[in-house]
Amino acid sequence: MPKVIGLTGGIATGKSTVAQLLSAHGFKIVDADIASRKAVEKGSKGLEQVREAFGEEAITESGEMNRQYVGEQIFYDSGLREKLNAIVHPIVRELMEAEKERYLAEGHNVIMDIPLLYENKLEDTVDEVWLVYASEPIQVDRLMARNDLSIEDAKARVYSQISIDKKSRMADVVIDNLDTTLELKQNVEKLLIEKGYIEPYTNTEE
């Protein structure tokens, strides 16, 4: 029976890297970020609803969503943020559900890659939650390096989410990403062997 696993973490914990590693081992990835972009892509019903809610400035000259403008509007206004979520979230759920069901019907194990799984209370929609863990100081350091942010901006982004330590207590599985990418790869493979998704490696050398 194929499994549906919710993959989550916090900003800059390495969740995308883990998703790539799991994909290499045959898991099918349903990505919330990709679905969110599709929900408001050029010519979509979602984008037309964004235009109605935020005005013409929300659409670029090329007919796509002006992400910078919309982002600035919702950053300081929780009412507008809720309005955008009310447009995008139902479409995203519909897209992700259809993709998940297609993969399950084909007999694949499915990873639902959802950054804000706990924030959006989606843990009951999956069989298990796997969380990619890095401590908050590591998150801040990686975010500063990756996005060229000040320490204040990096901390603001990290602290805008439920703390990674709280999430780790809620998850079924915690994948340690405190060190190198090689160690992360080994941790993922160890987990997959323990769970029976892949066979243990055997040394065939004489």
87: tokens are 């447009």
- Can you tell me the distance from the alpha carbon of 23 to that of 20, in angstroms, rounded to the nearest whole number? 5
Could you tell me which residues come within 8 angstroms of residue 119 by beta carbon, excluding any fewer than 6 positions away? 161, 162
Does 181 carry a binding-site annotation?
A: no
Does 121 carry a binding-site annotation?
A: no
- For 73, other C-beta atoms within 10 Å of its C-beta total 19
Contact in structure between 27 and 108 (CB atoms under 8 Å): yes
User: What is the torsional sign of CA 25, 29, 33, 34?
Assistant: positive
Residue 12 gets the label, from left (phi > 0), alpha (psi -120 to 50) or beta, of left
Beta strands 173-176 and 128-133 are parallel
- Sort 118 into a burial class: Cβ within 10 Å, 0-12 / 13-18 / 19+: buried
Could you tell me which residues are beta bridge partners of residue 28? 110
161: tokens are 């989410």
Does 16 carry a binding-site annotation?
A: yes
Does 60 carry a binding-site annotation?
A: no
Q: Residues comprising the binding site for ATP?
A: 12-17
Q: Residues comprising the binding site?
A: 12-17
